[in-house]
A = this chain, B = another copy of it.
Amino acid sequence: MELHQPAVEELDLTTILQALGDPVRLSIVRELAVTGEQVCGSMALSVSKSTRSHHFKTLREAGLTETRIEGTHRHISLRRDDVESRFPGLLDAVLQPQPAAL
């Protein structure tokens, strides 16, 4: 099974920003930045299975994450170096500790 994953030179800023502009997807990206590769199903997310799949797909198609299939599991990891090489500083800015909302 082939999953579409854009090449680094295909990464598009608007698409990346759209993918990051969702609280659940941003939390996935934050978690992957800390933990490294994870099995998709093992991530604790307070959304339904279909919503979860949609978010993983959005992140993958934007080029923020890589999905690796191994047997019946999907492993997801952050394409930090790829995103950094194309949009330097963007992920660092997004992943920095957030100021508390007032």
Contact = CB atoms under 8 A, between A and B. Distances in A.
Contact of A88 (B14, B88, B96): B96
Given A90-B93, A101-B10, A102-B10, A20 B17 contact: yes
Interface stretch (A21-29, A34-42, A69-77): A21-29
B23 A94 contact: no
Is chain A's binding surface mostly helix, strand, loop or mixed?
A: helix
A20 to B, nearest CB: 5
Q: How many copies does the complex hold?
A: 2
Contacts of A17: 17-18, 20-21, 26, 94
5 contacts: A9-B102, A10-B101, A18-B18, A89-B93, A89-B96
